Amino acid sequence: MKKNKLFLRIFFTFFMTAVILIGAFTILFKSFSPERKIPGHLEKHIIKHFSLLQNEVGSSPNPEQLKQFFDDYGLQLRHENLKNYSDELKLPDFLDAEKNDIHLSDEILMGKTKNFFFLLVKNQQPKILWLVEQNKVPKGWRIPFITIIGAIVFILVLSFLTIHWILKPLRLLTKGVQQFSDGNLKYRIPLSQKSDFFDLADTFNQMAVKIEKMILSKEVLLRDVSHELRSPLTRINVAVDLIDDKKIKTILKEDIQKMEYMIQNLLESYKLKHSEFVLKKSNEDLIELIQMVVKDYANEKVKFVLDIPGQFFMNIDLMQMERVFRNLVENAIKYADRESLIITITLKDIDQGCEIRFHDNGVGIDEKHLSSLFEPFYRVNQVRTPEGNGFGLGLSIVKSIIEAHGGKIHVTSEINKETSFIFSITK
Ligand code: ADP
């Protein structure tokens, strides 16, 4: 909706301009149109003219005479003394004329009815209603009005299309910013140098290059440090074996194990992200995998609800996908503060693969954390407890695995209510 707001606003502006212009033209037309009364001298002429015509018709004409009159002057007429003739032709009657008079004169009835223009001189005896078929009268007056309205509509459509075209670079810029904020750091805005927005796009592209480099060097640094830590850690591990004090030895061993786990995760995460990790893909049943994971964690405190088909085969790295599933289930259990945790797993068949949703009714996550949740080392509660719930690496690895499978992951949550991790896997 937001995306179209600008266009809606422009369209609304044009629409209002059109309404104002059309209103102004209508008022202009009205103010130029003649007085809504026939001027006195013209009225006299008309009456005189129709008296002459009446004399020609006579007071008791026969149908042949009226037909002849029509052929000569193009005028139909309803004569007071020849009712049947007019009724047969379904001509308007005197009552119609009275009802449809447009009050241009006190002496003459004039107006339109039943596809006829009519005229009746009030004091003439016998009464005669003079009639001309509407389609025999040229519609000259309509042409300028229709032309003006047409021109206004044409100008509006043209202006709207022009604005749409002018704003095209802005749409490209918006797309670029969106792609970049979605994590596609390689995206650059493809604007030609001739475009008025080229400078803006170019600045954005330069900024994108810098940010991409910064993020990459941060990741490379993390990888190198992790690498370098491995050998000293192995040496410390050997040295710890030589310690006699069992208690100290156990504590140190546990710490070393945690550090090894963290280093291993960091290195794997880097490899997954930078395509250095080759997925070992094969055609596997995701449903079987879900059921296997569920079996391992279900107990009286953790209930699973499954909304999944009978089977669903996809080309995946089974071990990595199992890691994703276990990680999401373990998180749901780890961060639940209630006795009766319900984890709902849904698998939906979508166009290019499937969408899987892990939902739990646990503690939920505050909205402000959601956008950073998949970053390495990001934890909602940054205070590290001695027993340590984790290093904040789980979700970053989950994301890397999903993306390595060509999918996307996002999270929705409401504090103290629920959390959902939703991801797709593409074929
Ligand atoms: P960790 O190793 O600390 O669990 P993760 O990357 O797996 O790291 O998770 C990052 C943070 O996201 C966790 O510290 C936790 O606060 C939050 N989190 C993850 N899953 C859930 C969940 N299902 N419910 C509530 N909080 C969650």
Query: Which residue puts its alpha carbon closest to atom 17 of ligand 1?
Result: 380
Of 5-14, 82-91, 335-344, 399-408, give the range with the top mean pLDDT.
399-408
Tell me what pLDDT residue 208 has. 93
Is residue 377 over pLDDT 90?
no
- Which ligand 1 atom is the nearest neighbour of the CA of 360? 23
pLDDT tens-digit map of 17-67:
877 887 887 788 777 665 578 888 888 999 999 988 888 888 888 888 888
Scanning 58-189, the segments in alpha helix (DSSP H) are 63-73, 83-88, 94-99, 142-166, 168-181
Task: Summarize the confidence of residues 142-159 as an average pLDDT.
Answer: 78
Query: Which residue puts its alpha carbon closest to atom 21 of ligand 1?
Result: 331
Rounded-to-integer distance, Cα 20 and Cα 14, Å: 10
pLDDT tens-digit map of 412-421:
999 989 999 9
Task: Summarize the confidence of residues 160-181 as an average pLDDT.
Answer: 87
More confident residue, 28 or 96: 96
Query: Which residue puts its alpha carbon closest to atom 22 of ligand 1?
Result: 332
Rounded-to-integer distance, Cα 298 and Cα 307, Å: 16
Cβ contact 96:113 at 8 Å: yes
Tell me what pLDDT residue 262 has. 87
Residue 92 φ then ψ, to 5° = -60, 150
Which of 331, 338, 345, 358 to probe ligand 1 with, by most ligand atoms within 8 A of CB? Answer: 331
- Which of 14-18, 39-43, 98-102, 392-396 comes out lowest in average pLDDT? 14-18
Tell me what pLDDT residue 385 has. 47
Tell me what pLDDT residue 413 has. 96
Query: Which residue puts its alpha carbon closest to atom 19 of ligand 1?
Result: 331
Q: Does residue 360's CB lie within 6 angstroms of at least one atom of ligand 1? A: yes
How many CB atoms within 10 Å of residue 37? 12
Q: Does residue 391's CB lie within 6 angstroms of at least one atom of ligand 1? A: yes
The percentage of the chain sitting over the pLDDT mark of 70, rounded to a whole number, equals 93
**Whether this model's pTM surpasses 0.75:** no
Is residue 389 over pLDDT 70?
no
Query: Which residue puts its alpha carbon closest to atom 16 of ligand 1?
Result: 380
- Identify which of 323, 329, 326, 322 has the alpha carbon closest to the alpha carbon of residue 305: 329
What DSSP line would sit under 332-388, residue for residue? HHHT--SSSEEEEEEEEEETTEEEEEEEE-SS---HHHHTTTTSTT--SS-SPPTT-
Q: Does residue 373's CB lie within 6 angstroms of at least one atom of ligand 1? A: yes
Rounded-to-integer distance, Cα 427 and Cα 281, Å: 11
Residue 9 contacts by C-beta under 8 Å, 6 or more apart in sequence? none
Task: Summarize the confidence of residues 64-82 as an average pLDDT.
Answer: 86
Task: Summarize the confidence of residues 80-100 as an average pLDDT.
Answer: 87
Is residue 381 over pLDDT 90?
no
Average pLDDT, rounded, for the chain: 87
Q: Does residue 398's CB lie within 6 angstroms of at least one atom of ligand 1? A: no
- Expressed in angstroms and rounded, the spacing between residue 7 Cα and the centre of ligand 1 is 41
Confidence of residue 14 (pLDDT cuts 50, 70, 90): confident
- Expressed in angstroms and rounded, the spacing between residue 267 Cα and the centre of ligand 1 is 20
